[in-house]
Each structure stands twice: as structure tokens, then as C-alpha cells.
Amino acid sequence: MKKVLVTGGTGLVGKALQDVIKNEQPSDEEWFFAGSKDADLTNLVATQALFEKVKPTHVIHLAAMVGGLFHNMNNNLDFLRNNLLINDHVLQTAHELGCTKVVSCLSTCIFPDKTSYPIDETMVHNGPPHVSNYGYSYAKRLIDIQNHAYHDKYGHLYTSVIPCNIFGPHDNYKPDVSHVIPGMINRMHKLRTEQPEIPETEKVFTVYGSGKPLRQFIYSLDLAKLMIWVLRNYNSVEPIVLSVDESAEVTIYEVAEAIAKAFNFKGKLICDTSKADGQYKKTASNAKLRSLLPDFKFTDFKTAIEASVLWYMINYDQARN
Ligand code: NDP
């Protein structure tokens, strides 16, 4: 019997894992989803107490200080320190309690700023990250270094996945913290519901930045399925990119259009070029994933946006606004 502890089990990806596992009901696995109320993982004693209580054989390590471009730009020190602490406590405690496998989460936004495209798993450490999120990036990159060090010293199979941008139900919609998709969903909802006396055709939705940057987005439920596959079947310390195909890359303006359509928004979209764009692109190759799992079907982007917007409208009162 495997006992799987999911740190960060209450967040966007954690909730998606909960959904997939609930439908699968595996008979040889017991899953425990921990949030920060179960243990503050920046605290070593609390981390150890959580592991002593759950006694996991396997860990999916999602817990992190996470945020969008603007939150990162203003808080690099906190992103660095909190994530360094969380990762060190989780990996060392997993080691001390004899966990067989740990799958941690990196991100495509930690790759070098100056690089060739597409980026792949071999390029994580090839140069400094974008200045906007260097705290988060270096803390995340060190997970890969730690995984190799645990393997070299103890032979452990502690590995990592590299997702592209994630979105879906249970995202973080708080304006100062959110990533681009939940941020736009929140603002579009406000624009539509506030000032009902103004006809919607006269309302204007502002896209932050030029709208031109390109991004790959993965639906959280697709990512959850892939992470479960990694936990069960991927047996290498080397990271693996979990991303949609390169052909599925979209511009930020196209994201805004998809969200507007999902809300049935009748007003106009404009771009505010005085706001930062972040990296122009960070196209990632999923060739390694495709070589191992060629038939995986990603949910169509517009369909996933519609499902995410619908979830937000239905669950507005409980969402992280
Ligand atoms: P969320 O912000 O939705 O969730 C973060 C999770 O971490 C929550 O469960 C939160 O617990 C937990 N957490 C945060 N701080 C602590 C702490 N000090 N102690 C214990 N738990 C803590 O993040 P996502 O689900 O979006 O991200 C999951 C992983 O994926 C992260 O490692 C992130 O870096 C990575 N990632 C995310 C991307 C994205 O676009 N969202 C892109 C690529 C990678 P609680 O809510 O209970 O406070």
C-alpha cells in the first residue's frame, strides 16, 4: 500500500489532484492532502510533525509561495526565503522518514532569461532567470540540485516536474497575487457585475501590457493526471517538462479574448502598454513527455477556459478573491 502525501494539497494543483483521485479511487494507494493549516512547512518542527502523522511512502510536493509577475517583482526576498525553507524541510524530512519517492514542482518561468527556444529539461541552470522573479526561480532551481544530491548520497528517487503556466478551478484570484488567467477572470467578473447601469457594450476590459507575449497554458486537471503518471511511472531524477505542445502557445491577447468569450462579454478589449510584459516568451518543449506518453490528450484551451470561468461564476463566494 502506497501512502501519498500531497503538500500544497489545498491549492490549484492540489485540488485538481483531489478531483482526479476521487474519480479514480485507487485501491493500492491512500492519499493525504495537506494545506498550510495542517503544517506551516517553513517551520521544520511542524513539517516533521506532519510527516510523523501521515507516515507517507511517497510525496507530491506542491507547497510553495506562488504568485504572478507583479507579486514576484515586489517580493523576491520572500519568494526566495520561504521557498528555500519549505523545500529543504520537505526533502530532508522525507529522507529522514524513509520516503521512497518525492515528486516536486519546478516551473517553466525559472529558466534562463537569455536562452534559445524551445527550452527543455537540460537547460534549467544555463544562465540567470528573468529579473522579475529571481527569488522564486533560484529557490525552485535548487530543488533539482537537492534531488541530485539526495540521489548521489543516498540513491533516492527524488525528482521534479516542470509545468508551464497552470489554470483551472480553485485558482488564486487575489488581484495582487494572481497569475494572468485568474487575474483576468477576476477583473472581467468585476467589470461585468459592477456599475450595472452602464451598458456592457460601453465597458472596456484592459489587458495589462502589450498583449503580445506568448505563453503555454496547461489545464490543472490535465496536469494532475500527468503528475499521477509521474508518481507511478517516471523513474528518473532528471526533471520532466509537463506542458502542452508548442503549437498550443497563445498570446496574452488571445487569452483575454477566450475569457471574454467565456463570459459572453459584449464590450471592448484594450491593451495598457504602460504595464510590464514580463518575458516575451518561454516556449517549452514537451518532447520528453511525448516520447514516454505519446497519446496523452490535452483539454482544448478554449474548452478549459470555459470550464474555469463557469467554475468561478458558480463558486465566486468561496473562491480566493
Ligand atoms: P497555489 O497558490 O494554488 O497553492 C499553494 C499551496 O501551497 C496551497 O495548498 C498552500 O496552502 C500551500 N502553502 C503555501 N505556503 C505554505 C506553507 N508555508 N506551508 C504549507 N503549505 C503552504 O499554488 P499552485 O497550486 O498554483 O502551485 C502548485 C505548485 O506548482 C507550486 O510548487 C508552484 O510553484 C508550481 N507551479 C505553479 C504554476 C502556476 O501557474 N500556478 C506554474 C508552474 C509551477 P494553503 O492554501 O492551505 O495556505
Give 36 Cα–ligand 1 centroid separation in angstroms: 10
Per the structure, the complete domain to which residue 163 belongs is given by 2-168+216-248+285-300
Residues 142 and 257 occupy one common structural domain: no
- Say yes or no to pLDDT of 245 above 90: yes
Residue 152 lies in a domain: yes
Residues sharing a CB contact under 8 Å with residue 261, sequence separation 6 or more, in sequence order: 302
User: With contact defined as beta carbons under 8 Å apart, do 216 and 164 qualify?
Assistant: yes
CATH number of residue 206's parent domain: 3.90.25.10
Give 61 Cα–ligand 1 centroid separation in angstroms: 9
Residues 6 and 120 occupy one common structural domain: yes
Best of 41, 43, 62 for a ligand 1 pocket test (most atoms within 8 Å of beta carbon):
62
Give the ligand 1 atom nearest the CA of 172.
3
- Report the run of H or E that residue 95 belongs to, with start and end: helix 76-96
Residue 175 lies in a domain: no
Distance separating alpha carbons of residues 162 and 157, to the nearest angstrom: 16
Give the ligand 1 atom nearest the CA of 171.
3
Residues 163 and 200 occupy one common structural domain: no
Distance separating alpha carbons of residues 116 and 137, to the nearest angstrom: 18
Residues sharing a CB contact under 8 Å with residue 248, sequence separation 6 or more, in sequence order: 216, 217, 298, 301
Per-residue pLDDT band at 21 (split at 50, 70, 90): very high
Distance separating alpha carbons of residues 261 and 209, to the nearest angstrom: 20
ipTM for this prediction: 0.99
CATH number of residue 152's parent domain: 3.40.50.720
Distance separating alpha carbons of residues 64 and 105, to the nearest angstrom: 9
Give 163 Cα–ligand 1 centroid separation in angstroms: 13
Residues 132 and 258 occupy one common structural domain: no
User: Long-range pairs for 25-29 at CB < 8 Å and ≥24 separation?
Assistant: 28/1, 28/2, 29/1, 29/2, 29/3, 29/4
The predicted-structure confidence for 54-94, as pLDDT tens digits, reads as follows: 999 999 999 999 988 888 999 999 999 999 999 999 999 99
For cell 517516471, what's the residue? 234
Report residue 184 as a C-alpha cell: 483576468
Give 7 Cα–ligand 1 centroid separation in angstroms: 8
Residue 320 lies in a domain: no
Residues 148 and 75 occupy one common structural domain: yes
Residue nearest to atom 16 of ligand 1 (CA): 36
Residue 90 lies in a domain: yes
Give 5 Cα–ligand 1 centroid separation in angstroms: 14
Report residue 63 as a C-alpha cell: 507547497
Residue nearest to atom 47 of ligand 1 (CA): 35
Residues 129 and 206 occupy one common structural domain: no
Residue 202 CB-density burial (10 A; 0-12 exposed, 13-18 middle, 19+ buried): exposed
pLDDT at position 214: 96
The predicted-structure confidence for 265-298, as pLDDT tens digits, reads as follows: 999 999 999 998 887 888 999 999 999 999 999 9
Best of 5, 7, 32, 36 for a ligand 1 pocket test (most atoms within 8 Å of beta carbon):
36
Best of 12, 51, 66, 243 for a ligand 1 pocket test (most atoms within 8 Å of beta carbon):
66
- 125-153 mean pLDDT: 97
Residue 76 lies in a domain: yes
Distance separating alpha carbons of residues 190 and 170, to the nearest angstrom: 18
Residues 41 and 106 occupy one common structural domain: yes
pLDDT at position 146: 98
Residues 201 and 238 occupy one common structural domain: no
Residues 201 and 294 occupy one common structural domain: no
Report residue 39 as a C-alpha cell: 503544517
User: With contact defined as beta carbons under 8 Å apart, do 101 and 228 qualify?
Assistant: no
User: With contact defined as beta carbons under 8 Å apart, do 176 and 71 qualify?
Assistant: yes
Residue nearest to atom 28 of ligand 1 (CA): 62
Distance separating alpha carbons of residues 95 and 152, to the nearest angstrom: 13
Residue 173 lies in a domain: no
What is the identity of the amino acid at 65? M
pLDDT at position 281: 87
Measured from CB, residues less than 6 Å from any atom of ligand 1 are 8-14, 35-37, 39-42, 62-66, 86, 105, 107, 163, 165-166, 172, 179
Give 147 Cα–ligand 1 centroid separation in angstroms: 19
Distance separating alpha carbons of residues 176 and 72, to the nearest angstrom: 10
Written as one string, the DSSP assignment of 105-136 is E--GGGSBSS--SSB-GGGTTSS-B-GGGHHH
Distance separating alpha carbons of residues 160 and 141, to the nearest angstrom: 10
Residue 30 lies in a domain: yes
Residue 174 lies in a domain: no
Residue nearest to atom 48 of ligand 1 (CA): 36
Residues 120 and 253 occupy one common structural domain: no
Residues 57 and 205 occupy one common structural domain: no
Residue nearest to atom 26 of ligand 1 (CA): 12
Domain count, the chain: 2
The catalytic residue positions are 136
Q: What is the DSSP letter of 284?
A: B
Residues 145 and 164 occupy one common structural domain: yes
